[in-house]
Structure 1
Amino acid sequence: MRLFKLLGISILVLGIFAFLLSLMFPSTAVVERTGVIQAPIDSVYAVVNNLKAWEKWNPWSRPDTTAQLVYSSQTSGAGASYSWQGQLNSGKVLILDSEPDKGVHYMMDIQNMRPVKGGIELKKTADGKATAIFWHMEIKLGLLPWWKLRGFLADRIYGPAMNEGLNRLNELCTHQ
């Protein structure tokens, strides 16, 4: 009996220590990728501003292949959104603001995940023939240690998909 009591107290102390230690970790994870798309800024903006075009390049536009996307009446610009309900998960994407020659900011909320605030910022290159792109995502992790631990892995988890998305976006915009 004494051994179980000692084991229980040890687990409790270890849990409290892990929680207190996790308070020193950042409560936000940021993942960023940059690139240059060999297309004029207006054609790149037309693709990133239109949610229906996201299926062709954004790796998270259809996270569950069984899901059906439901678009709002507005599919581009601030206020445009789509949602999905699938076997694996459900979620929603909402464009918060959108400006030509600057880019798009959005909120993505996926079931059982932390909300993601993201942005796709655009800028003309010096020669004006291509577009520099800065794609970033910010995830609020909260206080729980397992979410904060995932924050350390965010770049490894989401970064490769973002690179793939930028490559698809480049192909899509240069072949229009």
Structure 2
Amino acid sequence: MKFIKLGIISVIVFGTLIFLGSLLLPSTAVVERTGVIHAPIDTIYKHIGDLKAWEPWNPWFKPDSTATVTFSQTTVGTGAWYSWEGKISSGKVTIIDSDPLKGIHYSMDVKNMRPVDAGIELKPTADGKATAIFWHMQTHLGLLPWWKLRGFMADKIFGPAMDQGLTKLSRICEGKD
């Protein structure tokens, strides 16, 4: 009986310590990537502003080869969306704000995941010969330890895919692909 009581107390103490320790972790996960694409803003905007143009460069466009993708009636501008339904995951991306001179702001909702607030910002470089691009994603994690731990590792999980996406986008916009 003492062994069971000690086990229960140990589990409660250990769980409490994990929860208290997780309070030290940030409640928001942010992943950001920047780059320079040697192409004008309007060329890049054609690939980020139209959801149908995401497939060749965006690493999360169709996360599952069995997924079926559905688009809104219009795929460009504020309110445009696409959704996917597959064996592994399902979700929806909606453009919240779109400006051909500045970029886009969008939300991504994936089943069994926290909503993601994201954007791709565009600015001409100082010399005017290229475009600086800033891709960012932010997720509010709440207080649960398992979400905070995942948020702590978000850059390692999602950063390489964002790097790959920016590289592909750059190659497409610069006419190398």
Identity %: 62
TM-score by length of 1: 0.97
Match in the other structure for 2:29:
29
Matched, 1:141 2:128: no
One-letter code of the match for 1:103? G
Matched, 1:61 2:64: no
CA distance in 1 between partners of 2:140 and 2:65 (Å)? 26
1:126-137 equivalences in 2 (<5 Å): 126-137=126-137
CA distance in 2 between partners of 1:55 and 1:89 (Å)? 17
Local SS of the residue matching 2:55: helix
Local SS of the residue matching 2:78: coil
Aligned length in residues: 176
Structure 1, unpaired ranges of 5+: none
CA distance in 2 between partners of 1:108 and 1:129 (Å)? 32
Structure 2, unpaired ranges of 5+: none
Matched, 1:122 2:122: yes
Match in the other structure for 2:98:
98
Q: Please list the CA deviations of residues 142-176 of structure 1 after superposition, one character each: whole Å capped at 9, or x if unmatched.
A: 11101101111111000000000000000111118
CA distance in 2 between partners of 1:160 and 1:97 (Å)? 26
Local SS of the residue matching 1:56: coil
Match in the other structure for 1:16:
16
Local SS of the residue matching 1:58: coil
CA distance in 1 between partners of 2:72 and 2:100 (Å)? 21
User: Post-superposition shift, 1:127?
Assistant: 2.4
Match in the other structure for 2:72:
72
CA distance in 1 between partners of 2:52 and 2:42 (Å)? 17
Match in the other structure for 1:112:
112
One-letter code of the match for 1:136? H
User: Post-superposition shift, 1:126?
Assistant: 1.9
User: Post-superposition shift, 1:72?
Assistant: 0.4
Q: Is the 8 A contact 2:25 2:152 kept in 1?
A: no
User: Post-superposition shift, 1:16?
Assistant: 1.3
Matched, 1:40 2:40: yes
One-letter code of the match for 1:121? E
Matched, 1:166 2:166: yes
TM-score by length of 2: 0.96
CA distance in 1 between partners of 2:74 and 2:61 (Å)? 16
Match in the other structure for 2:89:
89
CA distance in 2 between partners of 1:117 and 1:165 (Å)? 17
